[in-house]
Structures are given as C-alpha cells and as structure tokens.
Structure 1
Amino acid sequence: MQKSLHIDAEKCTGCLQCEMACSFENYGVFNPAKSRIKVFDFHHTGKKVPYTCTQCDEAWCMHACPVEAIKLDGATGAKIVLEDICVGCKVCTIACPFGTVNYVQETGKVQKCDLCGGEPACADACPTGAITYIDANWTGLDRMRQWADKLGNQAGA
C-alpha cells in the first residue's frame, strides 16, 4: 500500500512542531529554516497552512535533473535527492511547479521531503492531526465527501 502525507489546513494551529521535527530528523537541530515542510502564515486571514512536496506522479523535479540525482524510493514512493550525486544546478527547483524543492546554501545541494523513509517526523509531531500519513488512495476522500454533501448526500427526513 502506497502512503502519502495528507494535510488538513483547518486543523493547523501554526505551532511549527512539524518544522521542528523535520529539521531535527534531517539535521539533528531544531531550526525551522532547515525544515523540508513549511507552515505558511496568511496574516490577512489568520490561516496557517503546512506545505511540502506532494511526491507527485509526474515528478518534474526528477525528470528535469540532468545528473539523475533524484530517484524514486520504491518502498515509500518518495522522490529522494541523492546528495552525493546532486551538483546543485537548481534545475529541479525551477521544474517543480509547487516550489517544494529548495536549494541549501550551506551544502550547495537541494533538499525536498523524502517522507523520512516511511515514518514522516512531521506527521508524528503534529499535535492536532493536521498532518497525517495515510493510504494514498484515500487522500481526497474528505473532499469527495464534502462535495457529495453539497450535492444532497444528507439523510432523508
């Protein structure tokens, strides 16, 4: 069963625990600037929205890499950056339409979510359940349910 991160922005409080867990998991430090997941703060509405690589099927980042430094992890489905191969050309950062591949100045390489090898630290750390790691086939179920409800999927009187 393939799994993926599911983000429910309605549950996010902006606590940044996901960013802290990610940076600690990947770099051993609590530093949101090093996180592969970001929480956007929409000041005008007060909304907080976690955002990270969606591990898209098309994987423009992977196909754009001229040295094939981004590979598919068969176990998790994540597109992972092989740092020893990455030359830091940033072509993948341009290719990603969502802006979730980032260049790291200190290393001269890129980073993106790798799903922590199948145990995403961000999901484990989220106290509100805004980030969960679920069966990839069900990530749109809540949206389908909401749409069905709008179309009259309520119990009859």
Structure 2
Amino acid sequence: MQKSLHIDPSKCTSCLQCEMACSFENYGVFNNSLSRIKVFDFHHTGAKVPYTCTQCDEAWCMHACPVEAIKLDKDNGAKVVFEDVCVGCKVCTIACPFGTVNYVAETGKVQKCDLCGGNPACAEACPTGAITYVDANWTGLDRMRQWADKLGNQAA
C-alpha cells in the first residue's frame, strides 16, 4: 500500500511543530531553517498552509538530475536525495514545479522530504492532525489522476 502525506490547511494553527520535528529528525537540532517542510502564512487571509515535497509520480526533480543523485525508495515511494552523489548543481530545484527541493548553502547540496523512511516526523508531531500519513488512495490521488487524464494528461 502506497502512503502519502495528507495536509489539511484548515487544521493548521501555525505552531511549527512539524518544522521543528523535521529539523530534529534530519539534523538533530530544533532549527526551522533546516526543515524540509514549511508552514506558509497567507498574511492577507490569515491562512496557514504546511507544504513539502508531494513525492509526485512525475518526479521532475529525479529525472532532471544529471548525476542521478535522486532515487526512488521502493518501500515508501519517496524520491530521496543521496547527498554523497549530489553535486549541488540545483537543476532539480529548477525542475520542481512546486519549489520543494531546496539548496542548502552550508552543505552545497540539495534537500527535500524523504518521508523519514516511512514514518514522517512532521505527521507524528502535528498536534491538530493537519498533517497525516495515510493510504495514498484516501488522499484522492487516483481521482486527481483520472481528472488529469480527462484533461489530456495521457502519455504520447
């Protein structure tokens, strides 16, 4: 069963626990700037929306990488950056239409969500259930694919 992060912005209180959990899981420190998930604040409406890599099937980042530093984790479907292979060219950051692959100046490499190996710290830390890790079918992924196919998303 493929799983994915499901984000419900209406439940987000902007507590930033997801960002803190992510940075601690990946770097061992509580530092929002190191987080692979961000809470975007729409100042005009007051809405808060967590966003991170959607692990899309198209995987533009993975296909654009000239050194194949981004690989598919077959166990959880995450597209994972292998830092020892990454040369920091940033092509993947340009290829990602969602802006969720980020260059880290300190390391000269890129980072993105890797679903924490199948147990996302952000979902575990979210006190309101705004971020959950659920069966991908429940998130409506298949319905979105069907709708996209109706709009001409078929392979040529």
Same fold by TM-score greater than 0.5: yes
Which residue is equivalent to 1:91? 91
Residue 59 of structure 2 is aligned to residue 51 of structure 1: no
Shift in Å, 1:34: 0.3
Which residue is equivalent to 1:20? 20
Q: Which runs of 5+ in 1 are unaligned?
A: 145-157
1:120-135 matched pairs, under 5 angstroms: 120-135=120-135
Q: Deviations over 1:8-34 (max 9, x none)?
A: 000000000000000000000000000
User: Secondary structure of 2:71's match?
Assistant: strand
Q: Deviations over 1:110-132 (max 9, x none)?
A: 00000000000000000000000
Q: Which runs of 4+ in 1 moved over 4 A?
A: none
User: Secondary structure of 2:137's match?
Assistant: helix
User: Secondary structure of 1:110's match?
Assistant: strand
Q: Deviations over 1:69-115 (max 9, x none)?
A: 00000001000000000000000000000000000000000000000
Identical-residue share of aligned pairs (%): 88
Aligned residues: 143
Give the counterpart letter for 2:78 in structure 1. A
**How does the TM-score come out when normalised to structure 1?**
0.89
Mapped to 2, the partners of 1:42 and 1:58 lie a distance apart of 28
Which residue is equivalent to 2:117? 117
Q: Larger Cα Rg: Structure 1 or Structure 2?
A: 1
Which residue is equivalent to 1:66? 66
